[in-house]
Chain A
């Protein structure tokens, strides 16, 4: 925790002064500075590459890149737009977050505060293992196992919640839709959110919890009054990590979804698409220009991810009073 506290200037300068002349310190500081710069250079290189190729493509797009519901860069003139992809990416991630975040917090609380120690360790380990399953495996599992089983749930949702519009199933078809993708993504991002959240919950100062207990709080009240407020910024950053994964998930979505370039709010109808899924599906057979167009769509995903991360940082910064540094 102390690592996050910025040193006061005088401590810093005195430390620097001491390090002069010591070879080990100089090497280490050079190494770490080099690593930091390398990271920036890599990020800049990615951005430059994406922008360059994207500009090549977009400058020849005959329609509006942001509002076109079609993807056919091989046509003459080329027609492609990201409207459906942006919508699908955001919608599937929102569904995934809505399902995964509460469940992840529940699991994290159970592991950190409720489960007997004998159970907590293996459970945490199993959640860790979930993160190690490659996404193509999730995709195959989703397509072969989950899709047939979700047919019934879809029918049920359509029958009882059809009035909500989003759960109105307007066309027949198996459950290869955005809702299924959302559920699959939720399962995929669960481990990362759970693990980070659990770590944060374990960091709650013992004194806080004991103080609450001493005041006569029940275990739930302890969690509500000390654990959750303390962990809030941690939960948010964990969720953002999960969201980042959901936004960029490729193979699992490509295998499970039945994509189409139709914008529809009916989550149970097959259709829609995401940036990463579209790139995976179209990259192989695309010509040079088609690849540029796909890279342009990748640039949009890059920007969306940056915005989401930026927003998360702002939220966390606003809640600094709860961060571990002040505990």
Chain B
């Protein structure tokens, strides 16, 4: 009796360990498995990649928001440069920065620029230098919804803030009706979905809402976990997309590729420009073009202008960075790091992004990144 029970307990502990491992690996997989459209085209582009002495293994980790872009880049880069292995683990921005500052990875991916204390910490790893942010991938955060009979929903920032803060609870609320003249809005409850896990996507939505609708969104814009008490939650962008797809009268936010993959209608945002702006990669690039570089020296941390009223600029946009040392990179990985980032910032590297639902960097910013990468040492 006791024997068999202990045996079971041991197997229960074993199961715990296994499920623990599952947790760690499962959480990182924030991808939506959207198949890349053209393997043929990308391998043709691969021939232009300069390998410049790249060799061995390059370890990287971080944001899952850029995972699909990274997968594409890694595939092309490895096809062009034999003997090189780039290993990007999409464990989340926080985890990536932690690993970078512990010297476990050569570069980290992050959806927000390094904080001051993280830069200070990076000086221990970057001998004589510090960690710098290189913008590499942009992308629109789509507001997806499911509402039978309503095709082109238009919302503005204050309305979005009130919907996600559950202050507006009915679809036929006057605020929504005013933005959508002629649309048949039902008298049903709005089911607002947000992320249940911590996420840079949530953080970017919060930054956008507090920049554009300060009066209606009073929460801390820096928080990665959902700050408002109401609404419903789901795990990961894929979870939110599934929930929105399943529930009538629902609304939620996720990277554009999840909306495309699940055929979810997306909201156009009334920014104050002459026409409402749809969530497309092209419109996201226009919004990033309005961003200012707030970093100094080699650091290209951007401050996005969420309040932009430029025609066709989709303001709810996320930029992910690659974080590397400006000086003091390890000699054995430096050539590979430079060759890889050279490729990702190059025109070919940026061109493949829109196929994966991301926004290429505007030419001016991409040019700055291309200037910085060769100076890494």
Q: Among A93-101, A107-115, A258-266, which stretch is in contact with chain B?
A: A258-266
Any chain B CB within 8 A of the CB of A134? yes
Any chain A CB within 8 A of the CB of B159? no
Any chain B CB within 8 A of the CB of A290? yes
Asked if residues B191 and A173 are in contact (CB atoms below 8 Å), the reply is: yes
Considering the chains assembled together, what is the distance between the CA atoms of A126 and B51 in angstroms?
A: 55
With A172-B189, A287-B98 as contacts: A280 and B27 at CB distance below 8 Å: yes
Chain B 95-113 residues near chain A, CB threshold 8 A: 95, 97-98
Please indicate the chain A residues that have their CB under 8 angstroms from the CB of B232 in the complex: 173-174, 176, 258, 270
Asked if residues A234 and B235 are in contact (CB atoms below 8 Å), the reply is: no
Please indicate the chain A residues that have their CB under 8 angstroms from the CB of B93 in the complex: 285
Asked if residues A255 and B239 are in contact (CB atoms below 8 Å), the reply is: yes
Asked if residues B23 and A199 are in contact (CB atoms below 8 Å), the reply is: no
Considering the chains assembled together, what is the distance between the CA atoms of A143 and B5 in angstroms?
A: 32
Asked if residues B197 and A284 are in contact (CB atoms below 8 Å), the reply is: yes
Please indicate the chain A residues that have their CB under 8 angstroms from the CB of B246 in the complex: 147-148, 174
Residue of A nearest to B111 (CB): A285
Please indicate the chain A residues that have their CB under 8 angstroms from the CB of B226 in the complex: 260
Chain A 133-155 residues near chain B, CB threshold 8 A: 134-136, 143-144, 147-148
Interface size on B, residues (CB 8 A): 54
Asked if residues B22 and A135 are in contact (CB atoms below 8 Å), the reply is: yes
Please indicate the chain B residues that have their CB under 8 angstroms from the CB of A71 in the complex: 225
Interface size on A, residues (CB 8 A): 54
Q: Among B126-134, B216-224, B255-263, which stretch is in contact with chain A?
A: B216-224
When each residue 277-306 of chain A gets 1 if its CB lies under 8 Å from chain B and 0 otherwise, what string results? 000111111111010000000000000000
Considering the chains assembled together, what is the distance between the CA atoms of A72 and B219 in angstroms?
A: 12
When each residue 230-266 of chain A gets 1 if its CB lies under 8 Å from chain B and 0 otherwise, what string results? 0000100100010011001011001101111110000
Considering the chains assembled together, what is the distance between the CA atoms of A72 and B229 in angstroms?
A: 13
Please indicate the chain A residues that have their CB under 8 angstroms from the CB of B26 in the complex: 136, 251
Asked if residues B19 and A134 are in contact (CB atoms below 8 Å), the reply is: yes
A259 touches which of B20, B22, B196 (Cβ 8 Å): B196
Considering the chains assembled together, what is the distance between the CA atoms of A195 and B4 in angstroms?
A: 11
Please indicate the chain A residues that have their CB under 8 angstroms from the CB of B193 in the complex: 258
Considering the chains assembled together, what is the distance between the CA atoms of A144 and B246 in angstroms?
A: 9
Considering the chains assembled together, what is the distance between the CA atoms of A1 and B196 in angstroms?
A: 48
Asked if residues B191 and A200 are in contact (CB atoms below 8 Å), the reply is: no
Asked if residues A251 and B197 are in contact (CB atoms below 8 Å), the reply is: no
Any chain A CB within 8 A of the CB of B275? no
Asked if residues A251 and B233 are in contact (CB atoms below 8 Å), the reply is: no
B92 touches which of A135, A262, A285 (Cβ 8 Å): A285
Asked if residues B23 and A259 are in contact (CB atoms below 8 Å), the reply is: no
Please indicate the chain A residues that have their CB under 8 angstroms from the CB of B230 in the complex: 171, 260
Please indicate the chain B residues that have their CB under 8 angstroms from the CB of A144 in the complex: 242
Considering the chains assembled together, what is the distance between the CA atoms of A74 and B225 in angstroms?
A: 10
Any chain A CB within 8 A of the CB of B276? no
Please indicate the chain A residues that have their CB under 8 angstroms from the CB of B4 in the complex: 196, 199
Nearest chain A CB to B43's CB is how many angstroms away? 32
Chain A 1-57 residues near chain B, CB threshold 8 A: 1, 3-4
Any chain B CB within 8 A of the CB of A63? no
With A1-B1, A254-B196, A284-B28 as contacts: A262 and B235 at CB distance below 8 Å: no
Any chain A CB within 8 A of the CB of B283? no
With A245-B12, A284-B198, A286-B94 as contacts: A176 and B234 at CB distance below 8 Å: yes
Please indicate the chain A residues that have their CB under 8 angstroms from the CB of B95 in the complex: 283-285
When each residue 192-219 of chain B gets 1 if its CB lies under 8 Å from chain A and 0 otherwise, what string results? 0100111110000000000000000000
Chain A 163-210 residues near chain B, CB threshold 8 A: 171-174, 176, 192, 195-196, 199-200, 203
Known: A241-B9, A245-B15. 11 other contacts (CB 8 A): A1-B1, A143-B242, A147-B246, A172-B191, A174-B247, A176-B234, A248-B16, A250-B19, A261-B229, A284-B27, A285-B92
Q: Identify 18 residue pairs between A and B in the complex whose beta-carbon atoms are under 8 Å apart, listed by A's number.
A: A3-B2, A134-B18, A136-B26, A176-B232, A176-B234, A195-B8, A196-B4, A241-B9, A248-B16, A251-B19, A254-B197, A255-B239, A258-B196, A260-B226, A280-B27, A280-B197, A283-B27, A285-B224
Q: B-contacting residues of A (Cβ < 8 Å)?
A: 1, 3-4, 71-72, 74-75, 134-136, 143-144, 147-148, 171-174, 176, 192, 195-196, 199-200, 203, 234, 237, 241, 244-245, 248, 250-251, 254-255, 257-262, 270, 280-288, 290, 323-324
Going nearest first, the 3 A-B pairs with the smallest beta carbon separation are: A284-B92, A285-B198, A281-B197
